[in-house]
A and B are shown apart, each in its own frame.
Chain A
Amino acid sequence: MAFSDQMNKLAEDFVIEAEKVIKEVVFRNMEEIVDGTPKDTGNLMANWDLAKDTTGERDPISIKSPIERGVAKTKSMNRITKGLSEYKVGDEQITIFNNVRYAEYVEEGNNNQRNSGWVSRQAIVMEKELVRALNKLVNKLYAFSRRR
Chain B
Amino acid sequence: MSTTSIREEIVNYFDTQWANATPVAYENRPYAPNTRATWIRFLVNDVFTEPATLGSDLCMRTTGFVHVVINVPESSGTKMGRVLADKLIKIFVARQITTVTFNNYEKKELGVWDDFYQISMKFHFWGDTLVSQLRV
Chain A residues with CB under 8 Å of chain B are 102, 104-105, 108-110, 115-117, 120-121, 124-125, 128
Contact = CB atoms under 8 A, between A and B. Distances in A.
- Grouping DSSP codes into helix (H, G, I), strand (E, B) and loop, the A interface class, with mixed when no group exceeds half, is helix
Bin the interface of chain B by size: 20 to 34
Interface of B: 27, 41, 43, 45, 47-48, 50, 63-65, 67, 69, 71, 108, 110, 113-114, 116, 118, 120, 122
Contacts of A117: 43, 45, 65, 67, 122
Contacts of B63: 124, 128
Given A115-B27, A124-B48, A125-B48, A108 B43 contact: no
A95 to B, nearest CB: 17
A105 B45 contact: no
A125 B46 CA distance: 11
Contact of B69 (A102, A116, A120): A116
B65 A109 contact: no
Nearest to A122: B47
